Structure 1
């Protein structure tokens, strides 16, 4: 592996989510909370609209580094703080952008910091993946 420096961008991508994606994820995950597919329910509980599942956002984010990583078995741990929801418009959907940068390098692990945004707002805070070198 090439020598890594703190601050180096190792991967980035934008994923477009649609309401159909949320329905598919609900079926795969078993999370059928109606805030993920019904505007009326989301409005009734005070949300700004139908929201992407937090675990979907989290999974899409860490998947950004899989090509760079090569072997996902190198992941030691992964954690995030959910800071803002991803609102998925019924017509235009939502774009989730992920930028993965080297945050720290040690002999036993490399920390990758993920900046995750939607609609110019950070949606995952302290999103960090530790991987084996």
Structure 2
């Protein structure tokens, strides 16, 4: 079901979601994206360059976060702009739990042309991992 511009107002909250991240998911993402940087799969290398452990790809984190918006609006093509600042990596331990990316969002502005700005809060392990995470969405 598509969201109508007339159904939203500033402060409208999107359903929050949690996205588990495992080492296996990072390997699959590396294969799909072609980003085989060893900081995303090799713990020894990641630690040797000053990271606490293997970290998720930034674009992987971004993609998981925008799912809250695309699921809400019902059409990925309705996202006309999306940007973030990478503030902290998502650390993915090599255990059964892995990591979790927590995402919540709300309508921050009503824009011209039946568009809205959605601001996202993206955390992992209680720490903000994406800053200034904003999407502009075209509504019907």
Scaled by the length of structure 2, what TM-score is found? 0.91
Shift of 1:10: 1.5
Say which SS state the counterpart of residue 95 (structure 1) adopts.
strand
Deviations 1:46-104 (A, max 9, x none): 00110000000000100112222122221111000000000001002001000011111
Scaled by the length of structure 1, what TM-score is found? 0.96
**Which of 102, 106, 116 is the equivalent residue of 1:101?**
106
How far apart, in 1, do the equivalents of 2:70 and 2:79 lie?
10
How far apart, in 1, do the equivalents of 2:26 and 2:72 lie?
27
How far apart, in 1, do the equivalents of 2:71 and 2:57 lie?
24
* Residue equivalent to 1:118: 124
How far apart, in 2, do the equivalents of 1:42 and 1:67 lie?
33
* Stretch deviating more after TM superposition (3-12 or 20-29): 3-12
Structure 1's unaligned 5+ residue stretches are none
Structure 2's unaligned 5+ residue stretches are none
Extract structure 1 runs of 4+ deviating beyond 4 A.
none
**Which of 24, 27, 32 is the equivalent residue of 2:28?**
24
2:11 is the alignment partner of 1:7: yes
* Residue equivalent to 2:87: 83
- Size of the alignment, in residue pairs? 133
> Which has the larger share of helix?
2
* Residue equivalent to 1:47: 51
Determine if contact 2:70/2:79 at 8 Å carries over to the other structure.
no
RMSD: 1.0
